[in-house]
Structure 1
Amino acid sequence: MKHEIIEMIEKYQKIIIHRHVRPDPDALGSQGGLAYLLKEHYPKKEVYVVGDEEPSLQYIIEMDELQDDIFEDALIVICDTANVERISDERYSKGDKIIKIDHHPNEDPYGDIIWVDTNASSVSEMIYELFETWNDLKGMEMTEKAARCLFAGIVGDTGRFRYPNTTERTFQYASELVKQPFSLVDIYEPMERISLNDARLQGYILNNFEQYENGVGAIKLSQSILQEYKVTPSDASRLVNTFANIEGIKAWVFFVEEPDQLIRVRLRSKKPIINGLAQRFNGGGHPLAAGASVFSWEQADEVLAGLHEICREG
């Protein structure tokens, strides 16, 4: 599969790299890491990164602004995106061919070439693996900018190497990446920085989340609460692990209301499998980290009831 990806990339003059909406460090890290590798190794190719900007993550990479006609005859590479509904920038459909590189369960097998590895800690880890194959075939060299992006992506999706998806391979690749002269401080400091408003919302969450006897934790953040604390839904969603380390918590859910009354559901777990529950509510994801969408607080209660059932069984 990696050989097929390399062969296809070499055929195209224009390569546009996408990822999912509301990006996290892995989405941007894999997208940027691949882009920087291609720009360095194929300087005559046109390589672009597109998608919605996330101001708090612009320290990883910033997006290109493209006219519609640039997508014509381009190769589209989509990183870290399980289904087409979550692809940021719908103009991907204007491209000639699509490569999907992802580590979520392959429930929506879109694309002309599909490389999915659910055992990878992150798509950034997969891009490093692709680089190794490329290096064996073509003598590709790692660059400082690419290494910085990939390391940020791995760090983000492994929770600073604390999540169960962290493997020996993860540490091996990270150790190779830090040989490049980028600053670890310049990655960790902005990744851990929060605004004063976010910090105050954290206090609200800790004072108001519900903890149940079966190990479930939950918080509902309505638009009125977000407005009171002057935070966006994206800001609030990043606080999903605020009460993760409270004794007795096995799985937890964050409900974050958007301005259009859509309610984002952020599910996390230490052991019980929760992505099946997410799939029942317009979502999906990893066994221990998933997301969904509901359209009323009554539906949110249905999600919570499902989480209770999972924790009772597990």
Structure 2
Amino acid sequence: MKRQIIDTIEQYDKIIIHRHVRPDPDAYGSQFGLKHLLQANYPNKTFYAVGEHEKTLTFLAHPDTVDDAFYQDALIIVTDTANTDRIDDRRYPNGAYLIKIDHHPNDDAYGDLLWVDTNASSCSEMIYELYSEGVKYKSWVLPDEAARLLFAGIVGDTGRFLFPSATVRTFEVAGQLIRYNFDRNEIFNSMYEKEPNLLHLQGYMYENFSMDENGAAYIKLTKEILEKFQVTPSETSLLVGSFSNIKGVTAWLIFIEEKDQIRVRLRSKGPIINQLAKKYNGGGHPLASGATVHTWEEVDRAIEDLKILCRDYK
């Protein structure tokens, strides 16, 4: 499969790389890491990485601007995106050929060519695997900037290598990446340092979350609460792991009210939660997923479902 992807890349002079909406470090790491990898090995081709910019990820990269006409006869690659509804920049079908590279469950098998590896810790790890195949097949090189981005993506999706998704291979890949010339401390500081207002919101979450006897925890962050702490909905992604350090918590839901929807972040220490996420217009990994609801009544139903899930797990 990896060689098929490389062969396909070599057939096109224009390549546009997409990723999912509301990007996280792995979305940027895989998307821009792939862009820099390919630029270094195919300097005569044109590469763009598109999508709405997430300002908390400015330390990693900034998306490109592409005219509609450029999509004609272009190869489109989508990284780290399980389904078409979550692809950022809806022009992705306008190219000549579509490749999907992803590590989420393949519930939406879109694309002309698909490479899905649910055993990979992150899509950034998969891009490194593509590079490794490229070394053997086409004598590829990996520039420092691509290594920096892929390392950041792996760190982000493994929670600094603390999540079960970090395998022996993940550590092997990370060990190879840190040989390149980039500042790991700068990455860690940029990813995990928080503004004071965000820490104040985190304190509010610790003081106000609810948890039942089976470890089902949750908190509702309304628009009024976010306004009080001057935190945007996207910035709350930096707090999604807050409850992981609380003894007795089995799984948790964080509800973030936005302008026209309520975003749901689901995390777990054991129970499989991506099926719960699918029930509420979402999906993701077994222990880390996302969903969307539109009423507080749906929120309450999701909480009850989580309680049942944690009860049955116990």
TM tier relative to shorter chain: over 0.9
Q: What is residue 34 of structure 1 aligned with on the other side?
A: 34
Written as runs of structure 1 = structure 2, the 5 A alignment for 1:115-194 is 115-194=115-194
Structure 2 gap ranges (5+): none
Residue 196 of structure 1 corresponds to: 196
Q: After superposition, what is the alpha-carbon deviation per residue over 1:141-175, rounded to whole angstroms, capped at 9, x for unaligned?
A: 11100000000000000000000000010010001
SS at match of 1:120: coil
Where do 1:85-124 residues align within 5 Å?
Answer: 85-124=85-124
Matched residue, 2:251:
251
TM-score scaled by structure 2?
0.99
Separation in 2 of the partners of 1:207 and 1:310? 24
Partner residue, 2:307: 308
Equivalent residue number for residue 279 of structure 1: 278
Q: Do the aligned residues in 2 keep the contact of 1:75 with 1:95 (CA within 8 Å)?
A: yes
Q: Find the residue that maps to 1:90 and give its secondary structure.
A: coil
Question: Given residue 163 of structure 2, which amino acid in structure 1 is its aligned partner?
Answer: Y
CA distance in 2 between counterparts of 1:271 and 1:192 reads 24
Give the corresponding residue for 1:13. 13
Q: Report sequence identity in percent.
A: 54
Runs of 4+ in 1 over 6 A off after TM superposition: none
Q: State the match for 2:74 in structure 1.
A: 74
What residue number does 1:3 align with? 3
Aligned position for 2:54: 54
Letter in 2 for 1:302: R
Displacement of 1:87 in angstroms is 0.4
Shift of residue 60 of structure 1?
1.0
TM normalised by structure 1 equals: 0.99
Mapped partners of 1:93, 1:208: distance in 2? 44
Equivalent in the alignment of 1:294: 293
2:62 is equivalent to residue 84 of structure 1? no
Offset of residue 237 of structure 1: 3.0
- 2: CA distance, partners of 1:237 / 1:306: 22
Q: Residue type of the partner of 1:110?
A: Y
Q: CA deviation at 1:229?
A: 0.9
Task: Report deviation, 1:300.
Answer: 0.5
Q: Deviations over 1:107-131 (max 9, x none)?
A: 0100000100000000000000010
C-alpha separation in 1, matches of 2:186 and 2:244:
26
How far off its partner does 1:238 sit?
2.4
CA distance in 1, matches of 2:88, 2:32: 15
Residue 219 of structure 1: SS of its match in structure 2?
strand
Q: Distance in 1 between matches of 2:2 and 2:275?
A: 29
**Residue in 2 aligned with 1:219?**
219
- Report the AA paired with residue 293 of structure 1: T
**Letter matched to residue 3 of structure 1:** R
Whole-angstrom distance in 2 between the partners of 1:293 and 1:113: 29
Alignment deviations for residues 207-248 of structure 1 (CA, whole Å, 9 cap, x no partner): 101111111110000111111111111112321111221110
Residues 26-79 of structure 1: CA distance to partner in whole angstroms, max 9, x if unpaired?
A: 000001111001101000000010011011111111111111111111100000
CA distance in 2, matches of 1:17, 1:58: 18
Across the two proteins, how many residue pairs are aligned to each other?
A: 313
Distance 2:29 2:165 in 1: 17
Unaligned 5+ residue runs, structure 1?
none
Give the AA of the match of 2:122. Answer: S
Cα distance in 2, alignment partners of residues 230 and 259 from structure 1: 15
Separation (CA, whole Å) in 1 of partners of 2:243 and 2:290: 17
- Out of 236-245 and 33-42, give the one that drifted further: 236-245
SS at match of 1:35: helix
Q: Give the whole-Å Cα distance in 2 for the aligned partners of 1:264 and 1:193.
A: 23
> 1:266 corresponds to which residue?
265
User: Which letter does structure 2 place at the counterpart of 1:298?
Assistant: E
**2: CA distance, partners of 1:237 / 1:10:** 37
